[in-house]
Amino acid sequence: MPHNYLENPPLAEDELMAAIDIGSNSFHLAIARLDHGEVRKVVSMSEKVQLAAGLDEHNVLSAAAEKRGLDCLSRFVARLDSVSSSRVRVVATNALRQAKNADDFIAKANAILPKPIEIIAGREEARLIYLGVSHTNASSDKRLVIDIGGGSTEFVIGQGFDPLLTESLQMGCVAYSKKFFADGQITKSAFNKAMTSARKKILAINGQYQKVGWSSVIGSSGTIKAVRNVLVSKGWADDQERITYEGIKKLEKLLIKVGDVNDIELEGVKEHRKAVFPAGVAVLRAVMKVLGVDTLAYSDGALREGVLYDMLGRLASEDVRDRSVIALIKRYSVDKKQARQVVRTSKHLFKQVKEDLQLTSDDADLLRRAAYLHEIGLAISHSSYHKHSTYLLEHSDIPGFSQVDQKRMAQLMLSHRRKLKTDVLEQVCQIGGRSLMYLCLLLRLAVLSHHSRSEYELPLLQLKIMDKNHWQITAETDKNHYAFLLSDLKAEIDQFAKWDIKLSILEANS
């Protein structure tokens, strides 16, 4: 699965790249440059937006929270003048995963941002966090990484740069503040209720995590940084300035004595963190108690650093998405020969039309990966296998892919065979615009070309765009084993018409 260096060349030394992390509590911007193979941050900005606090009981994001978020993103974008849009990634986490009206916010944000927002699944968030931590704190030990965010907490066991086990639990400092400390009062009862809720969630993963095991523990992000700073200032950390379980218990008692979030005056707890600090402490204590963690080190690397390193890997032809595709091919016993033939033809068709249809290198990658995976549903059943492929791609945890990536690939799966449906067209365009519609049709033609699974190397179709609503295919027809192809192509004329594309078929003798 070669990388296209011409359309998306690797990052040059001193060239800038940027990551925006749309978190449930804070938004973060990191701008970095490549320095001897390492990512060096040159700009770092964080703003408390508290998107998760703007979710009501029905998970609808308030207009005020939406405005806070959009205003923050506008300020971030003002710092991106010197960064190419192809070197920017924007990821969103739990708050937008939960918000029922997330699409409204995303549409407005995408009008501001140089690149569309990627909503990432919890386990993908955990993988990226581990990538950030492992590059910031190099070690060959098997490590447990814990990241307490605003809406969720991520747990990763990994070794070197490779995550071995990833999980995301629905508990975070903003969500638990709303649930257990809503009145701002810090009581023993509130702590106990928060810790009991967290313990139940952690117990669900404890057995598996203990079985894999770890030799050291690292925490990342704001809650753990603030706790570490307080414990160090109070002399409650160990001699390596690590968080200790005994120190956490002392901190809990101190907070209960303070009694109100507005009265928290602790070195290391910024003004904007006071309201969510007790809930974060409760979650951390529950994590350490259930998992049996006595000491916890802190890492500056987290999600945004992970996004930068993941982007660097993509640019250097070490794209985790391609590794994920290979893993899926193996897991579902895909016919590799057939997949390669479909990939070859889809690439050929794409090259002929990319300029006329204004398709991008990202579109080429999406089509190529979908072509490799279009038959994974056969592992479940031959009947309607394209629907099984669709389900698997939309609902699996696939490292490297955002939720939108998976939805787009799922649409390619759904429309690559059988009848095209008019109502599906609206869904396709809503998810990926007309470019996704074009990719669906290109994959359809590529799969159709190899429908017979012939041993012969079939002629490559010549595809010409007369205009965006009129496609013309030229096919060789003088050999017997090509005759079926012409028949199949003619049957597609009616199907393409359902999506407002006129398909013309020309016969040519070889």
In the structure, what pLDDT confidence band is assigned to residue 19 with cuts at 50, 70 and 90?
A: very high
In the structure, what pLDDT confidence band is assigned to residue 451 with cuts at 50, 70 and 90?
A: confident
SS3 label, residue 332 = coil
Indicate whether 488 pLDDT > 70.
yes
**CA pseudo-torsion sign 183, 185, 189, 193:** positive
In the structure, what pLDDT confidence band is assigned to residue 8 with cuts at 50, 70 and 90?
A: very low
Provide mean pLDDT across the span 79-102. 93
Provide mean pLDDT across the span 92-121. 93
Whether residue 44 contacts residue 327, with contact meaning beta carbons closer than 8 Å, is answered with no
Q: Give the pair of three-digit tokens for residue 325.
A: 């595709």
Provide mean pLDDT across the span 108-124. 93
**Listed residue (324, 368, 405, 309) closest to 11, CA to CA:** 309
Whether residue 431 contacts residue 425, with contact meaning beta carbons closer than 8 Å, is answered with no
* Strands in 230-294 per DSSP E: 243-244
> Residue 317: what pLDDT?
63
Indicate whether 213 pLDDT > 70.
yes
In the structure, what pLDDT confidence band is assigned to residue 103 with cuts at 50, 70 and 90?
A: very high
> Residue 14: what pLDDT?
66
Indicate whether 499 pLDDT > 90.
yes
Indicate whether 5 pLDDT > 60.
no
Indicate whether 243 pLDDT > 60.
yes
Provide mean pLDDT across the span 65-86. 94
How far is the CA of 120 from the CAs of 22, 72, 300, 337, 343, in angstroms?
A: 10, 20, 21, 32, 27
> Residue 2: what pLDDT?
42
Instruction: Give the C-alpha separation, 153 to 176, whole Å.
Output: 11
Provide mean pLDDT across the span 81-89. 91
Structural domains for the chain: 16-118 (3.30.420.40), 138-300 (3.30.420.150), 319-454 (1.10.3210.10)
> Residue 456: what pLDDT?
63
Indicate whether 418 pLDDT > 50.
yes
**Listed residue (278, 250, 277, 263) closest to 192, CA to CA:** 278
Indicate whether 298 pLDDT > 50.
yes
Interstrand relation of 502-508 and 470-476 (parallel, antiparallel or unpaired) = parallel
Secondary structure element (H or E) that encloses residue 166, with its range:
strand 162-169
- Which residues, other chains included, contact 385 with Cβ-Cβ below 8 Å and sequence gap of 6+? 375, 377, 378
Indicate whether 469 pLDDT > 50.
yes
Q: Give pLDDT tens digits for 175-209.
A: 999 999 999 999 999 999 999 999 999 999 999 99
Indicate whether 352 pLDDT > 60.
yes
More confident: 5 or 393: 393
In the structure, what pLDDT confidence band is assigned to residue 4 with cuts at 50, 70 and 90?
A: very low
**Count of helices and strands (H, E) across the chain:** 17, 14
Indicate whether 233 pLDDT > 70.
yes
**Mean residue pLDDT across the chain:** 89
Of 45-49, 189-193, 506-510, the range with the lowest mean pLDDT is 506-510
Q: CA torsion angle for 265, 270, 276, 282 (degrees, to 10)?
A: -70
> Residue 6: what pLDDT?
35
Whether residue 242 contacts residue 227, with contact meaning beta carbons closer than 8 Å, is answered with no
Instruction: Give the C-alpha separation, 449 to 457, whole Å.
Output: 11
**CA pseudo-torsion sign 223, 226, 230, 231:** positive
Query: What per-residue string of b and e applies to 70-109 under the rule 16 or more CB within 10 Å gives b?
Result: eebbeebbeebeebeebbbbbbbbbbbbbbebbeebbeeb
Rounded to two decimals, what is the model's pTM? 0.77
> Residue 89: what pLDDT?
94
Alpha helix ranges (H) inside 332-421 = 336-353, 361-373, 385-395, 403-414
Whether residue 449 contacts residue 429, with contact meaning beta carbons closer than 8 Å, is answered with no
Provide mean pLDDT across the span 310-325. 79
219 strand-pairing partners: 146, 298
Instruction: Quickly tell me which residue has 């609206």 as its tokens.
Output: 426
